[in-house]
């Protein structure tokens, strides 16, 4: 769902300067969240907008939303601190913002590196469907992406797919295999707020239709899987592609994905990225959200 900000709320937010945030371990401090909520709620139709946002993320059939903050980004600057605090305030109305990476600030840059693995988030190729922090026992409930600059060459649409709907279209045999702890992916170190390493893990983790679908298409090429586990994961990958939605994020668009319902990815950027100066390439900022308090210990 795409959510436009009411004009009178936009006007009020342009004139609002929220205080700098403070962190409590890896998470936004409760005092900061309360200050942001108090000031934002005074804005006209802010509460109404938050109700619409929460419904899109948590209501029946929902699972993702795009807040259209382009006018605010244009007025304040998409990479301006004032704008970023406003976006953080919206995020805090969904769940608690936090960073699992001690070496990064609350918001993590995702730029474009032409010499990076093309399938990575900062690469230039197709970034297949996945769940972020798939191998943590406590992955983020929400992953969010703020578009500072779209690809100037016009590539890189975001892709999303309803994970549980895709699972429901699979055979009973494939679903049974996906519920087995036969999957692994990636490394796990120097992280906080996401539990411990989960290895091996089941793709179908939790109650049917409610729990995480712990999937990343990269495991098909980069993990050693038994044949039956690989076959079931490949069938899921195909269903995710069949059910995908695709759209282009514009400057100021803020994508929020409920990781208990949807998986996300990105189509390839347009060819010719080598000729685009690094400072002009696509730039996203990533922020994670958790519905429960974050542990501040590593692992």
Q: Where are the domains of the chain?
A: 2-290
Predicted model pTM: 0.95
CA-to-CA separations, 66 to 53, 259, 288, in angstroms, rounded? 9, 15, 15
CA dist 254 and 86 (Å) reads 11
Q: Is the N-terminal amide bond of 200 cis, ω within 30° of 0?
A: yes
What per-residue confidence (pLDDT) applies to 210? 84
| SS3 call for 222 | helix
| SS3 call for 80 | coil
* CATH topology assigned to domain 2-290: Double-stranded beta-helix (3.60.130)
- CA-wise closest residue to 230 among 213, 217, 249: 217
Phi, psi of 57 (to 5 degrees): -90, -35
Alpha helices in the chain (DSSP H): 7-14, 30-41, 46-58, 70-76, 81-92, 163-168, 172-178, 219-222, 227-242
Instruction: Evaluate whether 128 touches 161 at the Cβ level (below 8 Å).
Output: no
Q: How far is CA 181 from the centre of its chain?
A: 25
Q: Which two tokens stand for residue 183?
A: 């999957």
CA-to-CA separations, 211 to 103, 118, 223, 247, 261, in angstroms, rounded? 30, 30, 23, 26, 8
CA dist 145 and 121 (Å) reads 11
Instruction: Evaluate whether 262 touches 158 at the Cβ level (below 8 Å).
Output: no
Pairing outcome for strands 64-68 and 158-162: unpaired
Q: How far is CA 141 from the centre of its chain?
A: 9
Hey, how many other C-beta atoms are within 10 angstroms of the C-beta on 190?
Answer: 11
Q: Is 186 left (phi over 0), alpha (psi -120 to 50) or beta?
A: left
Instruction: Evaluate whether 280 touches 259 at the Cβ level (below 8 Å).
Output: no
What per-residue confidence (pLDDT) applies to 36? 98
CA dist 114 and 272 (Å) reads 10
Query: Please, what's the largest Cα pairwise distance for the chain?
Result: 58
**How does pLDDT run along the chain (299 residues), one tens digit per residue?**
899 999 999 999 999 999 999 999 999 999 999 999 999 999 999 999 999 999 999 999 899 999 999 999 999 999 899 999 999 999 999 999 999 998 889 999 999 999 988 888 899 999 999 999 999 999 999 999 999 999 999 999 999 999 999 999 999 999 999 999 999 998 898 899 999 999 999 999 988 878 999 999 999 999 999 999 999 999 999 999 999 999 999 999 999 999 999 999 999 999 999 999 999 999 999 999 999 755 443 33
């Amino acid at each position: 769902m795409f959510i436009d900000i009411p004009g009178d709320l936009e006007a009020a937010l342009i004139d609002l300067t929220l205080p700098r945030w403070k962190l409590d371990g890896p998470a936004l401090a409760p005092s900061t969240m309360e200050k942001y909520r108090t000031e934002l709620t005074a804005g006209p139709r802010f509460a109404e907008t938050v109700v619409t946002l929460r419904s899109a993320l948590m209501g029946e059939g929902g699972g993702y939303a795009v807040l259209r903050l382009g006018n605010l980004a244009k007025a304040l600057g998409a990479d301006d601190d004032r704008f970023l605090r406003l976006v953080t305030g919206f995020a805090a109305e969904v769940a608690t913002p936090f960073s699992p990476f001690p070496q990064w600030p609350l918001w993590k840059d995702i730029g474009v590196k032409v010499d990076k693995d093309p399938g990575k988030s900062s690469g230039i190729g197709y970034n297949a469907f996945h769940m972020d922090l798939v191998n943590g026992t406590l992955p983020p409930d929400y992953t969010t992406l703020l578009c500072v600059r779209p690809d100037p060459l016009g590539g890189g649409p975001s892709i999303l797919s309803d994970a549980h709907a895709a699972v429901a279209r699979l055979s009973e045999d494939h679903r049974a295999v996906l519920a087995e702890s036969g999957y692994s992916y990636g490394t796990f170190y120097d992280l906080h707020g996401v539990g411990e390493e989960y290895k091996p893990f089941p793709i179908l983790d939790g109650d049917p239709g409610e729990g995480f679908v712990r999937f990343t298409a990269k495991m098909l090429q980069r993990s050693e899987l038994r044949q039956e586990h690989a076959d079931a994961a490949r069938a899921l990958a195909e269903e995710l592609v069949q059910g995908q939605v695709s759209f282009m994020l514009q400057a100021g668009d803020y994508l929020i994905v409920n990781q208990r319902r949807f998986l996300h990815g990105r189509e390839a950027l347009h060819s010719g990225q080598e000729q685009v100066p690094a400072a002009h390439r696509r730039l996203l900022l990533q922020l994670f959200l958790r519905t429960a308090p974050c542990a501040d210990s590593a692992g």
